[in-house]
Structure 1
Amino acid sequence: MHSEKESVTEVNQLARLTSLLLVDADPSLLSVLRKSLSPLFDLVEVAENATAAEELLSRIHFDLVISDSHLPDYPGLELVRQLRKQGDATPVIFTSAATEQEAAIEALRLGAADFLVKPFVPEEVVTAARLCLDSAERQGDAISPQQSVEGSCVNGGLIGSSAVVTAVCDVIRRVAPMPSTVLLDGESGTGKELAARAIHDWSGRSGGFVPVNCGAMTGELLESELFGHAKGAFTGATQARDGLFFYANGGTIFLDEIGEMPMTMQTHLLRVMEEREVRPVGGNHSVPVDVRIVAATNRDLKTAVEQGTFRADLYYRLNVLTIRMPTLRERKEDIPELASWFATTISAELGLPQPQIDKVALHRLKQHDWPGNVRELKNVVERCLLLRNCPSECLDGTDFSVASGSGALGENANELLLETVERQHILRVLELESGNKSAAARLLGVSRKTLDRKCRAWEAEEG
């Protein structure tokens, strides 16, 4: 047995390590996250409930906590409330189910560094954790800011050394420390949110990064979430609540899909940008805020202004500096690096051997137009990994095959008719998701409606 003195020494040594605590009731998810995040941390501990997490937190200082918002014994949100009451400012990344929007908003109110909506892939968690570490290290002068932002720009959607990606990263480095509004323009799947996070990470701002999807909510709900509301402001407003602008104070708010914002909300946002203060819905007083705004759109806002669907004055307010995110078609020289990155991270997530991508496969990948950009490439690599024991075509009209039993992406595979391959692939993904069509549709990159239609057609064929 260790003596008490030896135990204290051991704990103190652990406290000097880069340490991570993962808290989730799902053991399989904990295992996947532990494997994915271990390269970033010297020590990774896991807990399946809040009580176990509390015990670990009482003994070890953690540099980062990643916790589900709902745990078996009591909410992860409550766990963090207790930490904050004790003066513990450990950064926390919350995770929550896609339907738990309220939990995600409450997480931001507690000062969470980030929140991730399930289901997610480990690379999203790795990127979020890396940004937290970079921010903490920069505050402690452990690394230079340039190293931090460059680290952000070579993860996820902005992996690559092409001239266009290098140019984007150079612009981010120059503009991030400034308070000016930035508009990120580009097609879906080009990495606009990653660029926004890099801007915040390089900015040196003390507050958090708060992402908001402006196209996911009605105007009334969006106004309440952004600006907060007073008690009794509308039916169901049983208590006053602060908005996301309040919780982004001192930090950055990322307004994604800004082109989808209803006109009434555009008016309110313009007033906030001009006056630098927000008034909660139903409130009598405005509250000053210091928030850096980064917006993103895949629409042509200038055309929207001409068509009368977007306010001209708001457009000019947002268009202080526009960073155009390049499509994958414009940087095909980055495809080998991107494909290798996805193959490595996804194979680790799925517990599969890392494949070798041969020259023929890479050539075929470069011939594709990639309308879905980097997100589409990731989905293609994932499909091929899932079907590593089955010959398949992973791109429509392209013979991009997975060698049977070899774990390689290459040309030495037998071919099946595309319809048969598609059916086998979809059925395999449905099996992996235990028949959950919504989850399978997300993994396949298609709509639930499309998946239902295909399944009904196959059922009809079978009589």
Structure 2
Amino acid sequence: MNANLKRGRVEPAGSASSAPALGSILVASAEAVLAQRIARALSRRFALVEVAHSIAQAEKLRQRCAFDLLITATQLPDGSGLNWIESLRDQGVDAQVILLDDQADMDSAIAAVRAGASDYLVRPLHLARIESAVDRSFARRRHGNAANEATRPVLQQRPQELVVAHCEMVKSVCAVIKRVASTRATVLVLGESGTGKEVAARSLHAFSQRTGSFVPINCGAISPELLESELFGHAKGAFTGAHQARNGLFTYADGGTLFLDEIAEMPMAMQSKLLRVLDDQKIRPVGGNREVPVDVRVIAATNRDLAEAVRAGDFREDLYYRINVLTIRMPALRERREDVPVLAEHFVRTLADELSMPPVPITEEDIEALNTHDWPGNVRELRNVIERAVLLGISPAACLRELAQETRPEGSGAAVPEAVPGAPITLAAIEKRHIQAVLDGCGGNKSEAARKLEISRKTLDRKLQQWGRTAASPA
């Protein structure tokens, strides 16, 4: 057997400049279509990508190759993917692991972290999210295996959602990003959900020329008990199930950028610890007895009014002033309507290539429909509409009509009522109407509604409490 294959490394024929990156990946999933889609996408970039549909098949492949990364479903036909990973850890296998789950489950997420998984992804499993998780996993592996080697940034190109903009407001944002990117200043990115706050953060990192990785984390998606360990790491034996020491995201972002999304959802106790790290540039792993210096540029983001959160006692005033050194506001899509057709064309091209599907043409009817839509979900919603159109092979206008049908209240023959003609309609009213329609469509299941809206369950609960509404299901 080729020695390179045994080590999980394959040197492709041809020049080194055109060869895929060295790295071996095993994808284990009972869903053949999903596994092949992931494998096709990753094969363009990595030297060896194998697919297995059961634990038994995966083990046979592992006997031939020591894979760098394992991507596995939590449930496989012949057993639990999580139990399989735990058994591999007990055997001393140090491969990076990404777990794929059908739905967000806190017990599974906690078990995944304690088993040493580097990422835990739930549906919808977009290829872009999987590829980002793969990049983070290989970045972590490089940090662990070669501390003296500069880590290649995860971001390979400037985020195009900003580059393609025609809107003067977005051009101004780009100008600010280029001006401050090379500094170490902490940046606060504000904007509604889906406006591209992470895109702005990735742009700051890309223009900064920092040699470390861009590492994002959603502060509202991780339980308070796990957040400290996720950020700072933990020592062996720090808590039940901590069978080995584990680095946190600050360590993986050393020399690079840590993006704290939904920072307003961070628990108060963690806020004080984050403030100390920002001041001292040192972290203390959970259960550790010494501080570790880190070189991390922090970018924070939120869709909430932080000043109001400070007045309400939900956010520390000292941390607010510490992260609010420079503020970048991302405009809502309705404020940059001239960019809607341009972004739609961009998403058609990129998503057709990513999904290996033929692109759909955008007609004058489509442009009119896209321009007249309210876009409460902003750029994220536009991307999702185009992705659905590409997958189904229908026009964006038809896709919008189908989505409008889906979000009608159950048993209603009419769409959600529009505003009275001539009366002003506020953003809050649009947001409330959209969230309530999605929640009704999910039968009152708040967890399912939060997944569809791509917000945290905590954020959804807070909004419902503000409106004095309760859901039919406590889920």
- Could you state the TM-score of these two structures normalised by the residue count of structure 1? 0.64
Corresponding residue to 1:265 among 264, 267, 270: 270
Deviation (angstroms), 1:168: 3.5
Aligned residue in 2 for 1:290:
295
Deviation (angstroms), 1:318: 0.6
Corresponding residue to 1:355 among 352, 360, 384: 360
Letter in 1 for 2:248: L
Q: Structure 1, residues 369-414: CA drift from partner, whole Å, max 9, x if none?
A: 3121011112333455566679986547x9999xxxxxxxxxxxxx
DSSP 3-state at the match of 2:188: strand
Q: Which moved more, 1:359-368 or 1:177-186?
A: 177-186
Letter in 2 for 1:255: L
Letter in 2 for 1:191: G
Structure-2 separation of matches of 1:106 and 1:118: 21
Provide closer, same or farther for how the CA distance between residues 185 and 178 of structure 1 changes in structure 2, counting only shifts above 3 A.
same
Aligned residue in 1 for 2:165:
161
Contact 1:184-1:297 at 8 Å conserved across structures:
yes
Deviation (angstroms), 1:442: 4.4
Structure-2 separation of matches of 1:184 and 1:277: 24
Structure 1 portions without partners, runs of 5+: 137-144, 402-416, 423-435, 451-455, 457-463
Provide closer, same or farther for how the CA distance between residues 301 and 441 of structure 1 changes in structure 2, counting only shifts above 3 A.
closer
DSSP 3-state at the match of 2:298: strand
2:189 aligned with 1:184: yes
Structure-2 separation of matches of 1:80 and 1:159: 44
2:28 aligned with 1:24: yes
Aligned residue in 2 for 1:276:
281
Letter in 1 for 2:298: I
Provide closer, same or farther for how the CA distance between residues 106 and 320 of structure 1 changes in structure 2, counting only shifts above 3 A.
farther
Aligned residue in 1 for 2:381:
376
Provide closer, same or farther for how the CA distance between residues 13 and 220 of structure 1 changes in structure 2, counting only shifts above 3 A.
closer
Aligned residue in 2 for 1:409:
none
Corresponding residue to 1:68 among 48, 69, 72: 72
Q: Structure 1, residues 317-370: CA drift from partner, whole Å, max 9, x if none?
A: 111222222321232222223223444555667776532121122122112231
Structure-1 separation of matches of 2:175 and 2:85: 38
Aligned residue in 2 for 1:141:
none
Aligned residue in 1 for 2:109:
101
Q: Which moved more, 1:209-218 or 1:313-322?
A: 209-218
Aligned residue in 2 for 1:119:
124
Contact 2:386-2:396 at 8 Å conserved across structures:
no
Deviation (angstroms), 1:294: 1.7
Structure 2 portions without partners, runs of 5+: 142-151, 406-410, 417-444, 465-471
Contact 2:219-2:260 at 8 Å conserved across structures:
yes
Contact 2:358-2:390 at 8 Å conserved across structures:
no
Contact 1:254-1:294 at 8 Å conserved across structures:
yes
Corresponding residue to 1:366 among 368, 371, 376: 371
> Which residues in structure 2 correspond to 1:12-411 (within 5 Å)?
12-14=11-13, 16=16, 17-18=19-20, 21=25, 23-25=27-29, 26-36=31-41, 46-48=51-53, 67-68=71-72, 94-97=98-101, 98-99=104-105, 100-102=108-110, 105=113, 116-125=121-130, 151-154=157-160, 158=162, 160-162=164-166, 163-228=168-233, 236=240, 241-242=245-246, 244-245=248-249, 247-248=251-252, 250=254, 251-281=256-286, 283-344=288-349, 353-384=358-389, 394-395=399-400
Contact 1:219-1:264 at 8 Å conserved across structures:
no
Provide closer, same or farther for how the CA distance between residues 167 and 58 of structure 1 changes in structure 2, counting only shifts above 3 A.
farther
DSSP 3-state at the match of 1:333: helix
**Number of equivalent positions:** 403
Contact 1:32-1:349 at 8 Å conserved across structures:
no
Structure-2 separation of matches of 1:22 and 1:286: 36
Structure-2 separation of matches of 1:322 and 1:200: 16
Provide closer, same or farther for how the CA distance between residues 220 and 23 of structure 1 changes in structure 2, counting only shifts above 3 A.
closer
Deviation (angstroms), 1:257: 0.8
Q: Structure 1, residues 46-89: CA drift from partner, whole Å, max 9, x if none?
A: 45568877988999999x9572376779878689989x989x9x
Q: Structure 1, residues 202-253: CA drift from partner, whole Å, max 9, x if none?
A: 545454443322223454443343334567766x466575462553351432
Structure-1 separation of matches of 2:70 and 2:346: 23
Structure-1 separation of matches of 2:85 and 2:179: 36
Structure-2 separation of matches of 1:135 and 1:173: 27
Structure-1 separation of matches of 2:176 and 2:114: 33
Deviation (angstroms), 1:32: 2.0
Deviation (angstroms), 1:261: 1.7
Provide closer, same or farther for how the CA distance between residues 345 and 245 of structure 1 changes in structure 2, counting only shifts above 3 A.
closer
CA RMSD of aligned residues (A): 5.4
Structure-1 separation of matches of 2:181 and 2:87: 33
Letter in 2 for 1:67: I
Provide closer, same or farther for how the CA distance between residues 238 and 65 of structure 1 changes in structure 2, counting only shifts above 3 A.
closer
Contact 1:393-1:421 at 8 Å conserved across structures:
no
